Amino acid sequence: MITGLAHAELIAVLAAVTGDAPRVMTVQGGFALPSGPFELGHRSLQAGLREWVGDQTGHPIGYLEQLYTFADRDRTDEATGRTISISYLGLVREQAAPGAGRPGWHGWYDYFPWEDHRQGRPKILDGIAARLTEWAGAEPKRRDLRQRRVDFTFGLSGAAWNEDLVLQRYELMYEAGLVAEAGGAAHPAGGRPMFADHRRILATGIARLRAKIKYRPVVFELMPENFTLLQLQRSVEALAGLTLHKPNFRRLIDQQELIEETGETTSGTGGRPAKLFRYRHAVLEERAMSGTKLPLSRN
Amino acid sequence: MITGLAHAELIAVLAAVTGDAPRVMTVQGGFALPSGPFELGHRSLQAGLREWVGDQTGHPIGYLEQLYTFADRDRTDEATGRTISISYLGLVREQAAPGAGRPGWHGWYDYFPWEDHRQGRPKILDGIAARLTEWAGAEPKRRDLRQRRVDFTFGLSGAAWNEDLVLQRYELMYEAGLVAEAGGAAHPAGGRPMFADHRRILATGIARLRAKIKYRPVVFELMPENFTLLQLQRSVEALAGLTLHKPNFRRLIDQQELIEETGETTSGTGGRPAKLFRYRHAVLEERAMSGTKLPLSRN
DNA sequence: TCCTTTTATACTCGTTTTGAGTATATCAGG
DNA sequence: CCTGATATACTCAAAACGAGTATAAAAGGA
């Protein structure tokens, strides 16, 4: 008896930042994430993905990490059998875009307009909150539990907005029938839909990246070789969907000693010329920088 | 042409804590992690795993999270084709052990003796450090880079020991030929070996768990219903392989308001009776507790 | 030329959070 | 009624963090 036979498919969330717009690579005019079968010739999953993304888009991927593997029953196809989808998050420096395949880059926030809080709380959230509260109340028995979940996830009733909960928010909206992808969603509440569960995978990628920039120096994978501190801050803000306190951001950056001055300045942006910096790759290849959060005892 | 056809296999790292010993469930007398094919009948990967672990061991799994998916070429079998292995981390409350299948629980530190720093730095590390330095020097060109990596990963030359780098340490030892699983490892430096890459998967699980206990209340999945603060501390210490500062540990715990007194006390351990506590599940189902580490600006 | 706007960069200050240590309470058992 | 063992409660200084202010250096128009 042969059990466990299945098709393997790779799906990529490739992220980049242009100015202050975070972007994701798409195919089919923004309707799907790039994906393809896992070929037998590939050395490993990671290598397989690197290869075909390189071929298809001409973009070399700097950082690549596995996101999640799905094999839900609704991914089963009559003809080809069960499909296992392995998703990856890749970070790309955008300037390296050759004219070739002209992959379609789209702004994150086209798909998740409620996630961008840089201009303050998006108005779209009012409608969403109302619909979710309605949904919570629809089942009297679970009402309180649901409402607490809504409040926490969307930062309502005094709770603070938590930018990391991208996936939880999307899933909650899915459950409540507020996204077009959900079968019975009568009145989708906003955000451009995608093929199958691709928007869910994108949400997973964004959530992972938002969490990661806080304890790992991954932003630099998205920056050009030389950059100003403000550019760096704008990139982080773009990813997090939040505005940061400038003096404190700079203090944070230089106490980590991750960057160094190039010695040059740029007069590009109108005001006083800004110093250019570069990331100190070589020196701290491994450096986790994450400290412990446990109350250690010396010993 | 059919591409991407493969076998799917599930591998589980099931962790538990007995007193102050962290343990993992094994088969074949401690030589392998439990694993099995992903059957077509399963609703999803998660459900599939839950089902057969429940059947095979009688242990209900509290918390379950995906670890990593592998499909390296060396996992290919002539007869059955390529194998994709999807690994999971599961947390189990140990007391729920029925006599049935009698699964084999083994201490983590049998496999990774260098990871337990509760009694101070293990002596075995001296030998390992010497062998790694030797390995670093073996290639003059890359020597400095390698030595820096060794120092950082193992906390040498003034660097602090970082308990999260379990996987990095194992991989470094693998590269240097210090573990029995590596093909040409002439003189393994310690730690019980496992089948194929199972010890590597275990290292991945331990690393994930050590990182997670710092920002998510997962320890409670390993604790009995009622417990004392010292028991809780001992469990965290067992997982982290470190000793903690008692007063500060308690302060940390109660400022998070994750537990509440049961009202009872235990006089089990010889000294003054300790209050019993329980985890406040219901109340804070979702609560991420992770704050932001970005320097926000109010807005 | 000089004033305004814009951006860069440098400090200050009070609050909170950490790391580390000390003191007191309450039991079991000889 | 001591002694040993554990539980629990405070204290205190250093570091990190959130928020705000001040000064420097350019561009551009009145």
Phi, psi angles (nearest 5°) of residue B147: -65, -40
Nearest to B69 among A3, A45, A242 (CB): A45
Segments in chain A forming alpha helices (H): 45-57, 108-111, 124-137, 143-154, 166-175, 198-212, 229-240, 246-256
Residue B294 pLDDT level (bands cut at 50, 70, 90) = confident
What is the predicted pLDDT for the residue at B83? Answer: 84
- Smallest CA–CA separation between B293 and chain A, in Å? 6
Closest CA to B64 of B12, B115, B118, B123: B12
- Predicted confidence (pLDDT) at residue A186 exceeds the cutoff of 70: no
H helices, E strands: number in chain A: 8, 9
B 1-30 residues with CB < 8 A to A: 2-9
- Predicted confidence (pLDDT) at residue A58 exceeds the cutoff of 80: no
Residue A238 pLDDT level (bands cut at 50, 70, 90) = very high
Q: How many CA atoms lie within 13 A of B264 on its CB side?
A: 8
CB A146 within 8 A of CB A153: no
For B227-282, write each residue's pLDDT tens digit. Answer: 999 999 999 999 999 999 999 999 999 888 889 999 888 876 677 888 999 998 76
For A97-146, write each residue's pLDDT tens digit. Answer: 555 455 689 999 999 999 999 999 999 999 999 999 999 999 999 998 89
- Smallest CA–CA separation between A239 and chain B, in Å? 12
CB A156 within 8 A of CB A121: no
Q: How many CA atoms lie within 13 A of A157 on its CB side?
A: 10
What is the predicted pLDDT for the residue at B108? Answer: 95
When the pLDDT of each residue in chain B is averaged and rounded to a whole number, the result is 85
- Predicted confidence (pLDDT) at residue B79 exceeds the cutoff of 60: no
Identify the structural domains of chain A with CATH numbers, from first to last. 7-108 (3.90.79.10), 113-190 (no CATH), 225-284 (1.10.10.10)
**Mean pLDDT within B99-116:** 84
What is the predicted pLDDT for the residue at A288? Answer: 57
Own/partner pairs for B267-275, CB < 8 Å, 24+ apart? Answer: B269/B228, B269/B230, B274/B228, B274/B229, B274/B230, B275/B228, B275/B229
CB B61 within 8 A of CB B67: no
What is the predicted pLDDT for the residue at A285? Answer: 57
Q: Which nucleotides of C are covered by protein (CB under 7 A)?
A: 5-12, 18-22, 25-28
What is the predicted pLDDT for the residue at A81? Answer: 65
- Predicted confidence (pLDDT) at residue A297 exceeds the cutoff of 90: no
- Predicted confidence (pLDDT) at residue A73 exceeds the cutoff of 70: no
B245 touches strand D (CB under 7 A): no
Lowest mean pLDDT among B58-62, B80-84, B246-250, B275-279: B80-84
What is the predicted pLDDT for the residue at B198? Answer: 96
Residue B288 pLDDT level (bands cut at 50, 70, 90) = low
- Predicted confidence (pLDDT) at residue B75 exceeds the cutoff of 90: no
When the pLDDT of each residue in chain A is averaged and rounded to a whole number, the result is 86
Which amino acid belongs to residue A193?
A: P
B268 touches strand C (CB under 7 A): no
What percentage of chain B reaches a pLDDT higher than 70?
85
**Mean pLDDT within B173-201:** 88
Q: C-alpha dihedral over A255, A258, A263, A268, to 10 degrees?
A: -90
Q: Which residue has the higher pLDDT, B72 or A17?
A: A17
For residues A107 and A23, give the distance between their C-alpha atoms in angstroms, rounded to a whole number: 4
- In chain A, positions 265-294 with C-beta closer than 7 Å to nucleic chain D are 267, 270-273
- CA atom of B256 to C1′ atom of C18, Å: 15
What percentage of chain A reaches a pLDDT higher than 70?
85
What is the predicted pLDDT for the residue at A122? Answer: 95
Three-state secondary structure call for residue A279: strand
Which amino acid belongs to residue B161?
A: W
What is the predicted pLDDT for the residue at B53? Answer: 77
CB contact under 8 A, A293 and B214: yes
What is the predicted pLDDT for the residue at A1? Answer: 36
